[in-house]
Amino acid sequence: MLPLERYAVLYDKYAMPIGKGAGVEVSLDQLAEVLYCTVRNVKLIIRRLEDEGWITWQAGRGRGNLSRLTFQVDKDSLLLQLSQERAELGEYKQAFDMLHTYSDGTQVLSKFVDWLDSQFGYKTESWAGKPQADILRIPSYYQIQTLDPAELVYAFDSHMIRQLFDQLVYYSEEYKQYMPSIAHAWEHNEDASIWTFYLRKGILFHNGRELTAEDVVFSMTRLSQRNKIQSWMLRTLDRAEALGPYVVRIHLTRPHWLFLRILCSASLSIVPHDFGGLTEEEFWSLPIGTGPFRLKEWSENQFVLEAHTSYFQGRPHLDGVMLAYVPKEAAPRTKSNKWQKLLYGQDSLHQEPNDAWTKVELLPRGCSLVVWNMRKQGPQRSIAFRRAMNAIIDRQRMLEELGDNWVYPAYGFYPNEQTPHEGDPYDPDYAQVLLAEAGYDGTPITLMTHEGHEKEVHWIQQHCAAYGIEVRIEIATWQSIREPEVMHMADGILSCIVLAEDEVCLLEMYEQDGGCIKEFMLPEFHPWVRERIEQVLSTPDETERRARLSAIERRARDDGFILFLLHNKMGTHSHPSVRGVGLNSLGWVNFKDVFVAST
């Protein structure tokens, strides 16, 4: 980095605007002044730049005679080349840092992003000692927050955890039934308070050790600890016991007809009881599981997965998956497709590949919403004000003006066939009546969100200004927005939820410590919600369970505690030769199933 910095300083001082080939008469003392160093250091710098082939140096003969410095390389071309070399080494952060430092006022950053765009997608190349390996590279504009299933919060992390770990069972969205995974069979007693699971033999962790009942007991006991974010999932756990190396019995304190659905969650992933011989802190920096991929690298630059060749449900077709952490400005900028063999994720919806490409879309369960803080004094404590906000928000206009992947106004958590045709509560005249009823005096309200939802919160700010409501915006990080002292600064939090595990995710919103819905509820609301949840767990009939969950949603909506906004769509495009591309309930492609057919 240092030689480039020195070259850039000298180039900008002496070669602009002539460029490459420019020569200048200069003394060592003058260079020392420009580079803020001693004459001795200048000589070392000149020698290094000559060795790189970036300059030629003709020393002046005799004391006081000027020397000749000639620039052999265009600075912008050099900067682009060095940035590309960094990226090819997986040093994406360093590449962008270099560009932000030295490319101001040039087109180098734009050229680099165009080049980087061409590096993503499916490729066959030499990798990890294999002369031909099938690799999928994906740009990621968000960092993974955690790989600890017990501390899981975000859908992005959930998908990555599922690449590394397995659960006892999983739920098939295609067949609408529970399927074997680590457990090949299971049974329960009459009231679903005792469950017995029979484990497959020969399931290997990534370090080669066989999974046994001891790992399952350990994982469940660990998750049930009160200091874990997802401990609510096992709050009915009495004990888990190993009846043998491949049999586990789980005793619950009460009937639990959603227990299988809970076990499908990524938070119920099975981790090794011995942490692979590492300390727990060491383990979570590079964890091992039994999943289809093992973690090869997790750094500030990239997240690299390698196929688990002994995976019990079949080796992945891909040899590796690499997520490159890049700034948001690196998002694909053009409508032309430059990714080889695969366009991936939500950003692909903005692009227009060839007609021959396959388009896969998903309308996931979930929506964007605002949750009002009922524990903080402010206008939002008035039910009339909250209902006024519901009537003020013109969701159809919001949909049209925001564009992106938003597809329907939201009037609840779940989109369905009727969603596009439901009546919009937008009614500005009624909103004015409600504001008067609330005695609203123009007091500003603070809306908080995290990175990625700035557009939505700014739209609300501008829209509310027309009604005399001043909205102050706070943008938190993914981590800080869950800190109580940060969260409770807000009158409301705007976020987007994905209900990947259906009923379980609904329970999670009301039960999870640190989530804004539970944190912002009035204390009096908790017992009512908990009673309905207990009824849900003790009800074997799915239709009845959904009705009871809908009652909680209905009250939250009618009280204006939750302001529903928009439903979004996720999708991807794939080249005709790429097969196995389908979106899971989290809106991600299942990496294990992707392969390339012969052409």
Q: What SS3 string covers 396-440?
A: HHHHHHHCCCEEEECCCCCCCCCHHHCCCCCCHHHHHHHHHHHCC
Burial zone of 317 (CB within 10 Å; 0-12 exposed, 13-18 middle, 19+ buried): middle
By DSSP bridging, strand 445-450 and strand 492-498 are parallel
Cβ contact 3:98 at 8 Å: no
Smallest Cα–Cα separation from 161: which of 8, 62, 293, 34?
A: 293
Q: How far apart are CA 570 and CA 2, in angstroms?
A: 43
Q: What integer pLDDT is reported at residue 104 of this predicted model? A: 74
Q: How far apart are CA 102 and CA 108, in angstroms?
A: 9
What stretch of H or E contains 486? helix 484-487
CA angle 550, 554, 555 (to 5 degrees): 120
**Residues of the chain below pLDDT 50:** 1, 332-351
Place of tokens 């497959």: 200
Smallest Cα–Cα separation from 211: which of 234, 183, 187?
A: 183
Please state the φ and ψ torsions of residue 420, each to the nearest 5 degrees.
-65, -15
Angle formed by the axes of helices 39-52 and 28-35, to 10°? 90
- Structure pTM? 0.82
Per the prediction, the chain carries an average pLDDT of 86
**Tell me: the pLDDT tens digits for 361-417?**
555 667 899 999 999 999 999 999 999 999 999 999 999 999 877 888 998 887 766
Q: What integer pLDDT is reported at residue 584 of this predicted model? A: 60
